[in-house]
Chain A
Amino acid sequence: MLQAEHLIFQHPGAARRFDLSFTASPGEVTAISGQSGAGKSTLLDLVAGFLVPVSGTLTLAGRDLLPLPPEQRPVSILLQSETLFDHLTAARNLELGLAPATARAERDRLIAAALDEVGLSGVLNQRAATLSGGEKQRVALARTLLRNRPVLLLDEPFSALDDETRATIRTLVKSLTERHGWITLLVSHHLDDIEALARRRYRLVDGKLTEA
Chain B
Amino acid sequence: MTNPRILPDRPLRTLSGAAVALAIAALVAMVLWAIFTTASDSTAQPPRVDVWHLVAMTTIQAGLSTVLSLLVGVALAWALNRLRFPGRDLVVGLFASAIVTPGLIVAFGLLAVWGRAGWINQAALALTGHPLEIPLFGLGGILAAHVILDASFAARILLARLDAIPAARLKTGQSLALTAWQRFTVIDWPMLRGSLPGLAAIIFLLAFTSFPIVLLLGGGPANQTMEVAIYSAVRLDFDLKGAVQLALVQIAICSAVIVAAAAFAPISAATGASTEPRWRDRGPARLLQRGVLVASVLGFGLPLLAILVNGLGPGVLDVMARGSFWSALGSSLLIGTGSALLTLLLALGIGLGRAATPRPSLRTGIGAPAYAYLAVPAVVLSLGAFLLVRNAGLVPETAAPAVVLCANALLSLPFALATLAPPLDAIVRQRGRLIRSLGLGGWQQFQAVEWPLISRDVGVVLALSFCFSLGDLGVIALFGTQDFVTLPLLMYRALGAYRTNDAAAIAALMLVITIAAFVLLPKLVGRLTDAAS
Contact = CB atoms under 8 A, between A and B. Distances in A.
A82 B430 contact: yes
B357 to A, nearest CB: 15
A48 B448 CA distance: 23
Contact of A85 (B5, B441, B448): B448
B439 interface: yes
Most interface-central of A52, A72, A85, A92 (chain B CB within 10 A): A85
Contacts of A89: 533
- Describe B's contact surface by its main secondary structure: helix
B453 A71 contact: no
B5 A77 contact: no
A3 B3 CA distance: 25
Given A87-B452, A87-B453, A48 B438 contact: no
A72 B441 CA distance: 12
A57 to B, nearest CB: 18
Interface in A6-50: 48-50
B448 A88 contact: yes
Given A92-B448, A92-B533, A100-B444, A85 B433 contact: no
Contact of B441 (A76, A77, A100, A143): A100
Contact of B438 (A79, A92, A96): A96
A97 interface: yes
A114 interface: no
B12 to A, nearest CB: 15
A83 B435 CA distance: 10
B286 interface: no
Contacts of B453: 87
Interface in B428-480: 430-431, 433-434, 436-441, 444, 448-449, 452-453
A75 interface: yes
A181 interface: no
B6 interface: yes
Interface in B34-59: none
B448 A71 contact: no
Contacts of A87: 452-453, 533
Contacts of A96: 438, 440, 444, 448
A91 to B, nearest CB: 11
B109 interface: no
Most interface-central of B8, B438, B453, B533 (chain A CB within 10 A): B438
Contacts of B440: 71, 96
Contacts of B439: 71-72
A49 to B, nearest CB: 6
B397 interface: no
A79 B3 CA distance: 18
B428 to A, nearest CB: 13
Contacts of B9: 69, 71
A51 interface: yes
A166 B230 CA distance: 71
Interface in A46-95: 48-52, 69-73, 75-77, 79, 82-83, 85, 87-89, 92
Contacts of A48: 433, 437
Nearest to B8: A71
A51 B4 CA distance: 9
A147 B437 CA distance: 10
A76 B431 contact: no
Nearest to A87: B452
A52 B5 contact: yes
Contact of B5 (A70, A79, A143): A70
A6 to B, nearest CB: 20
A82 B449 CA distance: 13
Interface in A83-125: 83, 85, 87-89, 92, 96-97, 100
B438 A51 contact: no
Given A71-B8, A100-B441, A100-B444, A85 B3 contact: no
A52 B533 CA distance: 37
10 contacts: A48-B437, A50-B6, A51-B5, A70-B433, A71-B439, A73-B437, A76-B437, A82-B433, A85-B448, A147-B438
User: Nearest 9 A-B pairs (CB), nearest first?
Assistant: A71-B439, A70-B436, A50-B5, A77-B437, A87-B452, A71-B436, A50-B6, A96-B438, A70-B437
Interface of B: 3, 5-6, 8-9, 430-431, 433-434, 436-441, 444, 448-449, 452-453, 533
